[in-house]
Amino acid sequence: MKTELNLAVRPRRLRLNPAMRNMLQSVTLEKRQIIVPVFVCEGEGVRRPVGSMPGVEQMSVDVALEFLGELADQGFASYIAFGVIDREKKDETGSPALDEDNVVCRLFRSGRKARLPMVAISDLCFCEYTSHGHCGVLTDDKSTVANDQTVERLIRQAISHAKAGADVIAPSGMMDGTIGALRAGLDEAGFQDVSLLSYAVKYASAFYGPFRDAADSAPSHGDRRSYQMDTARDVREAILEATLDVEQGADMVMVKPAGAYLDVIAAVRREVYVPLVAYQVSGEYSMIEAAARNGWIDRERVILESLQAIRRAGADLIISYFAPALAKLLPR
């Protein structure tokens, strides 16, 4: 028996040659859409490779500034700074986070002084600054992070970043009510023009493993599940988090991680009308680098494909450790 094929429509017609394929590419990936993460540490002339993230380094302020300057010349438009704090400076309440002379504030000031043509974003959290590695001050029984006390301190941290020159503040600690409190605090301090990018939808993900090595921020006891989102929860929780933050004044919202949460990116995109950022996190980066190093995948194609997928799901901007690699892979 001969099968009757219905071939009135042949999608392959539009794939037959490079010109046709090129004309029809609507998912774009451009350098200005990639936010460059940078780990800033103490010292001068320091470049310290991160073991679990081949190709990523902790950098002192001077080196970070040079690194960012080169990427700005290439067309990258923004960066997000993470502080790497010397262990002996850390304490229970994360005091170095409020020090106006810490590495993050110094990077913002030097960037401004050097007229670095990039939007400066600050990751606002205490996990890099506390001795226990949790994202804020602990409750008396130390079982979780005390929400409201932590928010009070986040306001002070945000003001210090704004003073130093941050254009965008990105709270990543998942404390309830953070966005409204930060907006009020920043406005009162005269920083109406500083934007808020909320890590609104942040899962308690195992994909953050390598970052905790890079930022030296692994919790010394327990985990972050009493404040970050449960990976097995329904997507409606993500919509609740994102809409709450938009109501409280978030200028942009983030979904994190990205690759395993494309459905969440797409759902949040439909519900909110502010720009959407996705974070391709450390584990996503390291898995690709590791497989590529073993010769198991084509590194360059997988990098591009992983980022295209995140853009296609609906992210306007993507934080990605592949920024330096993309400097070579993408046209100017």
One residue of 125, 179, 238, 278 binding ligand PBG per CB under 6 A: 125
One residue of 172, 198, 306, 320 binding ligand PBG per CB under 6 A: 172
Exposed/middle/buried for residue 279 (C-beta within 10 Å: 0-12, 13-18, 19+)? buried
Minimum CB separation of residue 211 from ligand PBG in Å reads 3
Minimum CB separation of residue 127 from ligand PBG in Å reads 5
Residue with tokens 């130390």: 142
Binders of ligand PBG in range 173-202 (CB under 6 A): none
Q: Does 322 bind ligand PBG (CB under 6 A)?
A: no
Torsions phi, psi of 92, nearest 5? -60, -35
- Assess contact for 283 and 257: CB atoms under 8 A: yes
Given CA atoms 142, 143, 147, 148 in this order, what sign does their dihedral have? negative
Residue 35: name the closest of 91, 73, 76 by CA.
Answer: 76
| Token reading at 10 | 């042949």
> Is 202 annotated as catalytic?
yes
Nearest residue to ligand PBG by CB is 211
Residue with tokens 């700074």: 81
Query: Of 142, 163, 256, 328, which residue is the catalytic one?
Result: 256
What are 107-115's contacts with CB under 8 Å, separation 24+? 107/38, 107/40, 107/61, 107/64, 107/65, 107/81, 108/81, 108/161, 108/164, 108/165, 108/166, 109/164, 109/165, 110/61, 110/62, 110/65, 111/65, 111/68, 111/165, 112/164, 112/165, 114/65, 114/69
* String marking each residue 273-292 x if it binds ligand PBG according to CB under 6 A: --------xx----------
Given CA atoms 228, 279, 277, 102 in this order, what sign does their dihedral have? positive
* String marking each residue 224-263 x if it binds ligand PBG according to CB under 6 A: x---------------------------------------
One residue of 123, 167, 245, 289 binding ligand PBG per CB under 6 A: 123
With contacts defined by CB under 6 A, name the span among 93-101, 149-157, 187-195, 208-216 that binds ligand PBG: 208-216
Query: 258 or 272, CB closer to ligand PBG?
Result: 258
Minimum CB separation of residue 314 from ligand PBG in Å reads 20
Binders of ligand PBG in range 211-230 (CB under 6 A): 211-212, 217, 224
Q: Does 158 bind ligand PBG (CB under 6 A)?
A: no
Q: Does 127 bind ligand PBG (CB under 6 A)?
A: yes
> Is 2 annotated as catalytic?
no
Which residues carry out catalysis? 202, 256
Give the binding site for ligand PBG (CB under 6 A).
123, 125, 127, 172, 208, 211-212, 217, 224, 281-282
